[in-house]
């Protein structure tokens, strides 16, 4: 059996009032033993209680990564017309400067919404790097697939992951990856223009601490991108304990967009924006249906009833475009506050003093605040 800890209260707001939301859910993805309950807090968080104790956590991820090292498809690098259209789209929409790009990419993208959305999510809506050496941290980077994407897009990309095997796999591909999680990203400086939390926040024991740490890692004006299963999704209502987004006992807490927005604001983020949801219903419905039938959701064949269900999934995708609150996943961006005028002025003074000092051949000015050290 898995060693558990009992919370008795919401891990986000500490309220003890709650109602059972999903009872007796099993791990239909990786077969971790046990039956698990999710509780709904009045604050909007859906949380697992009891949940695996800290010492038990490596065990519940034993089968998590395939560690297969097939490089992710860089669809904008494909030769020919389709690749040129994709490059044209990324240039027009996100400010890249890919050569050999078709201007049709800018013109036709409203017509090809699904294909374009795939591309948006593939690059995680990343605007072109503003300068050489723009730094990006992918938290929970696994074997580093997204780091390969980010590097191709021109970012100086690094990652952290709590799984030593994933870190080893990523390093074998020549990627800059360290062991770590959130909170507990190690001694990394606040030096990233971009922090990515792709399906991470639902896994952490302390989501408030994790967002505070993500905020700390960003330079002033830096951008956080996060995506995770949506606690208020129609999929959860339809599939209940079998919904793919629950994934007990690895998902500790789930949120809807409004709760996330409040948490991000409390962590000091601004310009918080929900992005149009991913067309995720085909994946979520298919996997949930497999789980409901006790099948491995990653096996090749379609689950029973899939022919009928497929239409409902396509309807769910269309509905989510109109009502993003129903979607299976929620994706948001938020920004660290820019430098205040006062801080910018004092920073300039420090830089001037340092420049003077260097000219005079003396040592650089000491006592420079750590977060104002852009060269790390």
The two three-digit tokens of residue 217, written as one number: 């890692």
CB 227 within 8 A of CB 329: yes
For residues 187 and 196, give the distance between their C-alpha atoms in angstroms, rounded to a whole number.
Answer: 18
Burial class (CB in 10 A: 0-12, 13-18, 19+), 366: exposed
| Cβ-proximal residues to 55 (8 Å cutoff; 6+ apart), any chain | 3
Residues numbered 148-177 forming contacts with Zn ion, rule: CB under 5 A: none
Least separation, in Å, of the C-beta of 200 and Zn ion?
Answer: 20
Least separation, in Å, of the C-beta of 17 and Zn ion?
Answer: 9
Q: Does 45 bind Zn ion (CB under 5 A)?
A: yes
Among 4, 43, 212, 365, binds Zn ion (CB under 5 A): 43
Least separation, in Å, of the C-beta of 262 and Zn ion?
Answer: 11
Looking at beta carbons only, is 45 or 170 nearer to Zn ion?
Answer: 45
For residues 87 and 207, give the distance between their C-alpha atoms in angstroms, rounded to a whole number.
Answer: 36
Looking at beta carbons only, is 10 or 101 nearer to Zn ion?
Answer: 10
Number of residues in contact with Zn ion, rule: CB under 5 A?
Answer: 7
The two three-digit tokens of residue 91, written as one number: 């240039």
| Cβ-proximal residues to 341 (8 Å cutoff; 6+ apart), any chain | none
The residue with tokens 């951008």 is: 223
Looking at beta carbons only, is 49 or 193 nearer to Zn ion?
Answer: 49
Q: Does 262 bind Zn ion (CB under 5 A)?
A: no
For residues 242 and 239, give the distance between their C-alpha atoms in angstroms, rounded to a whole number.
Answer: 5
**What letters, b where the CB count within 10 A reaches 16 and e where it falls short, cover 78-96?**
eeeeebbbbbbbbbebeeb
Looking at beta carbons only, is 74 or 262 nearer to Zn ion?
Answer: 262
Neighbours of 280 (CB within 10 A): 24
Looking at beta carbons only, is 14 or 358 nearer to Zn ion?
Answer: 14
Least separation, in Å, of the C-beta of 310 and Zn ion?
Answer: 36
- Which of 44-52, 125-133, 313-321, 332-340 is the region at the interface with Zn ion (rule: CB under 5 A)? 44-52
Looking at beta carbons only, is 15 or 271 nearer to Zn ion?
Answer: 15
Q: Does 10 bind Zn ion (CB under 5 A)?
A: yes
Least separation, in Å, of the C-beta of 41 and Zn ion?
Answer: 3
Q: Which residues bind Zn ion (CB under 5 A)?
A: 10, 12-13, 15, 41, 43, 45
């Amino acid at each position: 059996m898995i060693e558990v800890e009992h919370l008795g209260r919401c891990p986000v707001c500490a309220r003890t009032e709650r109602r059972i939301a999903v009872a007796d859910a099993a791990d239909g993805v990786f077969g971790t033993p046990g039956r698990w309950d999710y509780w709904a807090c009045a604050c909007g968080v859906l949380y697992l209680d009891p949940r695996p104790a800290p010492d038990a956590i490596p065990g519940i991820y034993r089968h998590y990564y395939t560690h297969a090292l097939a490089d992710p498809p860089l669809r904008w690098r494909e030769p020919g017309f389709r690749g040129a259209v994709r490059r044209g789209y990324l240039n027009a929409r996100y400010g890249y400067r890919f050569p050999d790009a078709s201007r049709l990419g800018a013109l036709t993208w409203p017509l090809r919404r699904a294909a374009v959305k795939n591309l948006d999510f593939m690059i995680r809506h990343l605007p072109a790097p503003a300068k050489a050496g723009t730094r990006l941290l992918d938290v929970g980077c696994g074997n580093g697939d997204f780091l390969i994407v980010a590097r191709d897009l021109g970012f100086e990309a690094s990652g952290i992951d709590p799984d030593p095997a994933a870190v080893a796999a990523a390093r074998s591909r020549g990627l800059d990856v360290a062991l770590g999680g959130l909170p507990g990203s190690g001694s990394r400086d606040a030096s990233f223009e971009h922090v990515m939390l792709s399906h991470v926040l639902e896994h952490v024991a302390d989501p408030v601490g994790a967002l505070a740490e993500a905020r700390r890692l960003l330079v002033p004006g830096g951008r956080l991108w996060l995506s995770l299963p949506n606690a208020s999704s129609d999929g959860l209502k339809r599939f209940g304990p079998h919904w793919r987004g629950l994934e007990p006992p690895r998902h500790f807490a789930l949120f809807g967009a409004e709760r996330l927005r409040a948490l991000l604001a409390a962590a000091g983020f601004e310009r918080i924006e929900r992005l149009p949801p991913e067309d995720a219903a085909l994946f979520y419905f298919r996997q949930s249906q497999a789980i409901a039938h006790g099948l491995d959701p990653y096996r090749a064949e379609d689950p029973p009833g899939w022919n009928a269900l497929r239409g409902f999934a396509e309807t769910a995708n269309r509905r989510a475009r109109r009502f993003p609150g129903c979607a299976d996943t929620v994706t948001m961006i938020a920004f660290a506050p820019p430098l205040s005028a006062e801080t910018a002025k004092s920073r300039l003074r420090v830089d001037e003093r340092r420049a003077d000092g260097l000219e005079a051949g003396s040592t650089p000015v000491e006592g420079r605040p750590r977060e104002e050290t852009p060269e790390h």
